Structure 1
């Protein structure tokens, strides 16, 4: 039986043929349908293999696929960062930190992220087995596919904790479908393995325009974040330093940081109209309340009214006598524009290194890094006499006002520093200690009995 690859959505199809008394040789192979190609053929030529990997980017750019939306909005309202102003009951469960294990939105997050992993596994398998591709093209595509798999697993493990870890292609679909949850440590080990291998495969130069395909520095930037989350501060500092010392990126003025030609961008997920997913949600007409706005407490936490992030990345809107603090990092919400979905940007590398240095008690080095971000925001440097604990608090605050409304940074920061219960329980009476993880969708447990539910979400 041959595997087929679908041209349009890049999803591998499996055909199960039930054989009775006849041998496989008695059947005539008709080949793939007109809208499909045989899986093996997808990796015979550079052009065909590139189309497969571009499909990974295409899949990750869809607003409805559970990645951009879930990480930015649902994680945002789960923390103290975003305020939800609409009436979708499923989203309100995230805002209340009381998600039902039957929540359809939560099921979509899980399912579509694993679909991306499935597609990446198929690409890695096909590329690895191919003997006909140009070596440099093969390395480029394999590095990109490994990055995308690590990217997906990084977010899954931070949302759900222990998760299944399928690494094989669709020839092993039945085996993949009944995998139990792997430990968080095991998932992180695979993420680091994928990213380290991708580093060795990818060039420092970008392929294409607008930094829409990852290069070595994009991989390094994500690896720095992964090491920080794992409390491997030596490696977090070393990886961030590679990006900082590359001389490729800068910190432009806040008002232009998110246009698709910004030199702060390390990696962005493109789209045809040039309208970002956050922009479409955050930017509305003057008399229209956005579905998601900055929480009042977060807005008030800026240390200065002259902070350029406050003046350029927020906008106050008074509607019906109530003031809402809109997020204006992206300036365009409809029509066509010049903004993509910025996934990795340079400021994070300074704050990763600042935190890693502070954790190693290099407080002066941490000050140098945090001050780079503050200077761009029009602020003075932090005090030169901060203690280690005070510097770590300063870094947390700087991350809060730098990354609000982006990819769930605040939600993940509160969880990884064990601050979620302290911060969120004071704001939400519905908070429980088990709210730090999303529930494993009950629909997934039904089809895979090897899965177990996260504490606090059992029926």
Structure 2
């Protein structure tokens, strides 16, 4: 993995600050020959926070997190059964056919994008902690934000690749020969990072922008983590902590308002400010929405469309749209409404990462396993009420535990399609991934629940073992 780590700390922090200055004039630092050392970056609170802003701008551009064609949102959605691709690009087709080759460069981009982000936040952690120039408040903020992003990134890695190297420093000599750690060990570190972040972050969002995590973003991710680990009581507790923050969050009545910048349903978003140019649209909008000159590289699958028996559901009405191609009606995700905008004006949509609706469904699922079916029904009905469809409490108040669990997973599929691979992760953690054998043009094998460890990385690090089936 040596190739994905930048040995030159000066250039690393220079690139971070350039990614900031390309968007806004946050700082003015005079350093000879355009070189910025880590000492310069962490010599004041202002420059240190600017480096952290550079991390958020990188999230908008990193392959795994940018919402584009090489992101978790697209590739994991394609690996599951929500999308079918219109592309003839071999790398894309392999994801759709569940036949990913270890040499697939798009798979490598997922891996490398994650580890680049981990390296960056590790550098932030090391340099802020060791700085004598920063205020304690700034140190606390940077540590909380960096640990949150590291936990979030590792969450993506282990749900895509299974066992992965757990890298907690910028020592590239050590990192380049680190073997894979167990899923349990990585989850343990995710929990430690998030619990630390909860003690370090503020309750309010900095500058009223939901692009930097607060304490409740860390709690929301911790709730999801405990759900995946089947720690039902903890999942219920942390999701409740977020849901109860009515001063910050509420389910928006109009589904078209959900994905707007700083919407009250948003727990954490990524801003298109990372474009560093006049573009103000999200990558998701650009990817999924057709234009007069472009057919999207993926459309919604028949399997997904068959879930919508009630087409009065506001999610169907507002979040699914159609177009005609070669006399065939095709459907695409329409959560984001802006396909392209180069006006350089106000940014109207942010890329959604976590939102309140998920916390209701996390708490509902946890309560089913805890035997609190009425509480679970109430939370699912919150989502169904927003969609303006019949409530469980009205049509099936005595629903069984297994029926309610099935309903929750169906609601998750409808609610979070085209968002961060939720369907793919849900199928795997529920033990129902074999349903993917019914996909058209698939080569599904049970070993396909994990993506292959990229062949290029295994050549560089002989201690990286391969997942079964590759």
Instruction: Provide the TM-score with structure 1 as the length reference.
Output: 0.91
For structure 1, the residue ranges without an aligned partner over 5 or more in a row are 12-31
Say yes or no: does 1:395 pair with 2:408.
yes
Whether the 8 Å contact between 2:166 and 2:186 is mirrored in structure 1 is yes
Matches within 5 A, 1:44-443: 44-62=43-61, 64=63, 68-69=67-68, 70-169=71-170, 172-247=171-246, 248-252=248-252, 253-272=254-273, 273-285=279-291, 288-335=294-341, 336=343, 337-382=347-392, 383-421=396-434, 423-428=435-440, 429-443=442-456
Whether the 8 Å contact between 1:314 and 1:329 is mirrored in structure 2 is yes
1:13-67 deviations in whole A, cap 9, x for unaligned?
Answer: xxxxxxxxxxxxxxxxxxx863332223322210121122112111111164665
Whether the 8 Å contact between 1:2 and 1:39 is mirrored in structure 2 is no
1:261-301 deviations in whole A, cap 9, x for unaligned?
Answer: 42111110011333111111111236853212211221120
Q: Secondary structure at the match of 2:260?
A: coil
Whole-Å Cα distance in 2 between the matches of residues 64 and 214 of structure 1?
20
Q: Secondary structure at the match of 2:353?
A: strand
Whether the 8 Å contact between 1:353 and 1:366 is mirrored in structure 2 is yes
Whole-Å Cα distance in 2 between the matches of residues 381 and 394 of structure 1?
12
After superposition, the Cα gap between the structure-2 partners of 1:143 and 1:435, relative to the gap in structure 1 and judged at 3 Å, is same
Whole-Å Cα distance in 2 between the matches of residues 63 and 130 of structure 1?
27
Which residue, out of 428, 450, 455, partners 2:468?
Answer: 455
For structure 2, the residue ranges without an aligned partner over 5 or more in a row are 1-6, 18-30, 274-278
Q: Secondary structure at the match of 1:137?
A: helix
Whether the 8 Å contact between 1:199 and 1:220 is mirrored in structure 2 is yes
After superposition, the Cα gap between the structure-2 partners of 1:287 and 1:41, relative to the gap in structure 1 and judged at 3 Å, is closer
Q: Higher Cα Rg: structure 1 or 2?
A: 1
Whole-Å Cα distance in 1 between the matches of residues 297 and 317 of structure 2?
21
What is the aligned partner in structure 2 of residue 19 from structure 1? none
Say yes or no: does 1:10 pair with 2:22.
no
After superposition, the Cα gap between the structure-2 partners of 1:288 and 1:323, relative to the gap in structure 1 and judged at 3 Å, is farther
Q: How far is 1:143 from its partner?
A: 0.5
Whether the 8 Å contact between 1:178 and 1:448 is mirrored in structure 2 is yes
Root-mean-square deviation over aligned CA pairs: 2.0
- Aligned residue pairs, count: 436
What is the aligned partner in structure 1 of residue 4 from structure 2? none
